[in-house]
Amino acid sequence: MAKGVKPRVKVPKSASAGEIITIKTLISHQMESGQRKDKEGNVIPRSIIHRFTCEFNGQSIIDIILAPAISTNPYFQFEAVVPETGEFKFTWYDDDGSVYEEIKSISVI
Amino acid sequence: MKLTRRQTVIAGLSVVGVATLPLPSFAANVPLVGLPDEFTRGASVGSGNIILNTPEIAENGNTVPIHVSAPGAVEIRIYAMGNPVPGVAAVTFGPLAAAQSASTRVRLAGTQDVVAIAKMQDGNFISTINQVKVTIGGCGG
Amino acid sequence: MRVAIVATIVCFVSSLVLAGPDDDNLTINGELEMITETVAPTHLEGFDVIYSGWRFRTDETQSLQIDDFDNPAMIFVDKAIDLFNTVDGTEGKACVSCHEGPEQFVGLSASMPKVIDGKLTVMEDLINSHRAEVMGAEAWKWSGEDMQSMIALIGLQSRGMPVNVAIDGEAAPFWEQGKEMYYTRYGQLELSCANCHEQNYGNMIRADHLSQGHTNGFPTYRLKQAKLISRHNRFRGCIRDTRAETFAEGSDEFRALELYVASRSNGLSVETPAVRQ
Q: Given CB atoms, is B94 within the 8 Å cutoff of chain A?
A: yes
Any domain includes C105: yes
C3 falls within a domain = no
pLDDT digits (tens, 9 = 90+) for B96-118: 999 999 999 999 999 999 999 99
Q: Where does the pLDDT of residue B141 fall: very low under 50, low under 70, confident under 90, or very high at 90 and above?
A: low
Query: B74-94 as b/e, with b when 16 or more CB fall inside 10 Å?
Result: ebbbbbbbbbebbbbbbbbbe
Flag residues of chain C having pLDDT under 50.
1-17
Give the mutation candidate from A38, A64, A85 for the B interface (greatest B CB count, under 10 A): A64
Q: How far apart are CA B68 and CA B49, in angstroms?
A: 11
Q: How many CB pairs under 8 A join B and C?
A: 51
> Does the residue C10 lie in any domain?
no
Q: Which of B26, B32, B94 sits opposite A61 (nearest CB)?
A: B94
The CATH number of whichever domain residue C205 belongs to comes to 1.10.760.10
pLDDT greater than 80 at residue B8 = no
Taking the CA of residue C132 and the nearest CA in chain A, the distance in Å comes to 23
pLDDT of residue A3: 65
Residue C172 covered by a domain: yes
Neighbours of chain B (3+ CB pairs under 8 A): A, C
Asked if residue C6 belongs to a domain, the reply is no
Domains identified in chain C, total number? 1
Question: Is C226 in contact with A26 (Cβ distance < 8 A)?
Answer: no
C7 in any annotated domain: no
C5 within domain boundaries: no
Catalytic residue at C95?
no
pLDDT tens for the 109 residues of chain A, in order:
456 788 999 999 999 988 999 999 999 999 998 888 989 999 988 999 999 999 999 999 999 999 999 999 999 999 999 999 999 999 999 999 999 999 999 999 8
Q: Are C232 and C215 in contact (CB under 8 A)?
A: no
Contacts of B20 in chain A (CB under 8 A): none
Query: Inter-chain contact B101–A78, Cβ cutoff 8 Å?
Result: yes
Given the DSSP bridges, would you call strands C208-209 and A49-56 parallel, antiparallel or unpaired? unpaired
Question: Beta strand pairing status for A20-27 and A7-10?
Answer: antiparallel
Residue ranges making up the domain that contains C177? 15-277
Interface check for B57 against chain C (CB to CB < 8 A): the answer is: yes
Tell how many helices (H) and how many strands (E) occur in chain C: 10, 11
User: Is position C8 within any domain?
Assistant: no
User: CB burial class (10 A; 0-12, 13-18, 19+) of residue A61?
Assistant: buried
